[in-house]
Chains A and B, each alone.
Chain A
Amino acid sequence: MSFEKVAFGFFIILALTLNVAFVSGDIDVPAHHSVWLLFGTIVVNLFATLMKLGDRSQIGALLLATGLVADLQLILAASVWTIAVYGTEVGLTTPVLVGVVSLATGALVANVISVTMLVADTLMLRR
């Protein structure tokens, strides 16, 4: 067991759990989707992507790719939110919120893939 491995697993799993925490709830109820959770998800996802950087193995490349997908979707979600509230006069209406949460749900899928790969890889090592 090494500290780096713990940190690696920690950030990847935290990215998934925070993402779930943001997405869960009714898709069109603003009270169910805290902006803090979105912020936290983005930051932790960026950390997770950084941890995946620099692994040349095939699985490392795929992990990095899923991380980049999640980052892209989450940053898009935050951008949609920001542009709707500050950039235009639209405000946080139901269609905007649905769009944001949908994008974050897409990122959630990428995070699920990366955690699955991490767990599968670890279980294979066991044998």
Chain B
Amino acid sequence: MAKGSDLDRVTFIVLRELRGPIFMLITVYAIGMIGMVLIPGRDADGNVVHMGFFHALYFMAYTATTTGFGELPHPFTEPQRMWSIACLLLSVVTWVYAIGAIARLVGNPYFSQALAQRRFSNAVRRIHEPFVIICGYGDTGSLLARGLSDQRMTGVIIDGDVDRIKALGLRQYAVPMPGLCADAGVPKNLIDAGVDREQCRAVVVLTEEEVGLKIAVVTRLLNPAAQIICRCPSRLHVEELRSLGSVIIADPFEAYARELALALRSPPLYTLDEWLVGARGASLRRPLSCPPGSAASKQS
């Protein structure tokens, strides 16, 4: 099926739900018109005349919407007035019901989700510069987005948490950062995020390992040129990720352990390293020194 079939499907469901209110509206209009045509009226000279269908529709049109232009084309007879009351009550109540039903459908969560997805994929399609897909918008994800924004590089963000995507909308970025609340492990959502486009330079995976593995496989299959960067604390999954080829795997525990080891073994080197890879404008700190009497201080 074509792209956006999700919205089509939901639109059809919404249309199905609209059948009831529209059915009632047509019925009430038809009954009102039949009544107005059947009930005899009188013209200015007192002759019996029947209202035509055109005038009956005109009457229903202004009565049902509570406009009330009056008794047209001739002043009504008493039976016509009685029928007018019935028409007005029935049609106004039906309109209120129909408007309520339509408003409820517009607020339908599936409908708004499908609309959001469509808006997201359109926003991604409008990106013509290289971009990075970030799966998972937690602490790391938002730091990364900030960094990308500072480099004037666009990020496309997918996260399963509604609140995080809402928070994304409140951030001020220098470049557009479209975000979608969805499961990044589903290939369709990744395609909406533009994973198969040549402008997609990298996919950064910051989700749980299981989902991350799925994302990595989908990315490798759909876009072999894109770089995959994966945060993966589990040894088991590291092996599987390695089998995909050139995947950059960042194990946060290992990174921390390496830094800690460096800090213990060679505090000046650690300080220098921290200064070099740190944020722009960071100043060189004094090397760490171990408290006297500890194992590390004896070693050095």
Contacts and interface: CB of A to CB of B under 8 A. Distances in A.
Given A39-B33, A43-B30, A46-B26, A54 B12 contact: yes
A39 B53 contact: yes
A8 to B, nearest CB: 11
B256 interface: no
A76 to B, nearest CB: 15
Contacts of A35: 52-53
A56 B52 contact: no
Nearest to B23: A50
Q: What DSSP secondary structure best describes chain A's contact surface?
A: helix
B26 A53 contact: no
B36 to A, nearest CB: 12
Nearest to B73: A86
Q: What DSSP secondary structure best describes chain B's contact surface?
A: helix
A107 B53 CA distance: 20
Contacts of B16: 53-54
A82 interface: yes
Contacts of B19: 50-51, 53-54
Chain B interface bracket (under 10, 10 to 19, 20 to 34, 35 or more): 10 to 19
B178 to A, nearest CB: 28
Contacts of B296: none
Contacts of A59: none
A85 interface: yes
A55 B19 CA distance: 12
Given A53-B16, A53-B19, A86 B52 contact: yes
B93 to A, nearest CB: 20
Contact of B15 (A39, A54, A78, A86): A54
Nearest to B29: A43
Interface string A90-124: 00000000000000000000000000000000000
Contacts of B23: 47, 50
Contacts of A39: 30, 33-34, 53
B38 to A, nearest CB: 10
Interface of A: 35, 39, 43, 46-47, 50-51, 53-56, 78, 82, 85-86
Interface of B: 8-9, 12-13, 15-16, 18-19, 22-23, 26, 30, 33-34, 52-54
